[in-house]
Amino acid sequence: MPTATGRLLGVAQLSLLSAAPPRLVQLAADAGFDFVGVRVRPVTDAETPFDVQPGSPLLAETLARMADTGVMVRDIEFLLLDGTDQRDAWLRMFEAGQALGAESLTVACGDPDLSRARDTLAQMAEDGRPFGISPGLEAISYQSVRSIPVADELAVHAGCDLVVDTLHTGRFGASAAELAAAASRAPMVQLCDAPAERPASREALVTESRSARLAPGEGGLDLLGVVDALEAGLAGTPRAGTQLPVSLEVPNEEAVARLGDAGWLGHLHSSAVSLLEREALPGSSAGSSGGAAAATAETSTEERTR
């Protein structure tokens, strides 16, 4: 259920990558989340693929759990635009997403040719409209698009959304002004924490992103600063005064092994509620543990993404 301030909370598939969508929905409901993100296409060969295409038994089971619990699917993932023809892949993803009721498909850009990537994203956005789904371009600290201004320029050209993730905004050093300028294209924010110090190598950035993030409030990133900047940027838009939904994307293999699947999602929910409701207290200051977002980044391949 929403927080005391009315903000919707969700949990991304990457927080519990091994959980099949029906189980993820049930665990999310038990922990108190309002929505989930579902990975309808595996990113690496090591992942278990979840077939939620129309007509599949897993889709039927997922929809039944959603109906039973009231938990929604807001977004699906994940596609790395790599410069090749990926249209068949994203059309299948749109089909699965429409069946789940999703509104957004998260993508990132690993294509070094940004002119080509701009055209690819525009084609993808056009293809998504009949399905009611918009691509959400996520700037990732070790990919070709690794800043909010570049991601926002591509999104404006394509007519699609942005996905803002607090790990990556911290690692490439997004400013409050950049976030506010792009806010109208961000339908939600992905929240996690991490140490304030940026990992020293691309490999370490990938490892942190995929398996070593921290629950909100347990690191040094300025999480509330990101949320506040985005919501301030909504002033003067039709969404002025609204609270952005927050999705917890916090993969941490050690914590899951220690707490178990249900324990980990419960911990993420309580940590997020504690942080976000502190924001509403009079005189509270933005920030997780006082750390500021900082860093630059590099590029990688799909096998080393998210």
- C-alpha pair distances (Å), 70 with each of 103, 189, 223: 16, 21, 28
pLDDT of 277 over the 90 cut: no
Helical spans, DSSP H, in the chain: 21-31, 57-69, 87-100, 114-128, 148-158, 166-172, 176-182, 202-211, 223-233, 253-279
Over residues 35-71, the pLDDT tens digits come to 999 999 998 888 999 999 999 999 999 999 999 999 9
**Structure-block tokens of residue 305:** 């993404």
Over residues 63-98, the pLDDT tens digits come to 999 999 999 999 999 999 999 999 999 999 999 999
Residue 289, pLDDT score: 40
Q: Between 3 and 17, whose confidence is greater? A: 17
pLDDT of 298 over the 50 cut: no
3 state DSSP class of 215:
coil
**Prediction pTM value:** 0.89
Residue 281, pLDDT score: 54
> Cα–Cα distance between 247 and 270 in angstroms, integer?
13
pLDDT of 30 over the 60 cut: yes
Residue 45, pLDDT score: 87
Residue 306, pLDDT score: 52
Cβ neighbours of residue 105 under 8 Å, at least 6 residues apart?
75, 76, 77, 79, 90, 93, 94, 97, 128, 133, 134, 135, 136
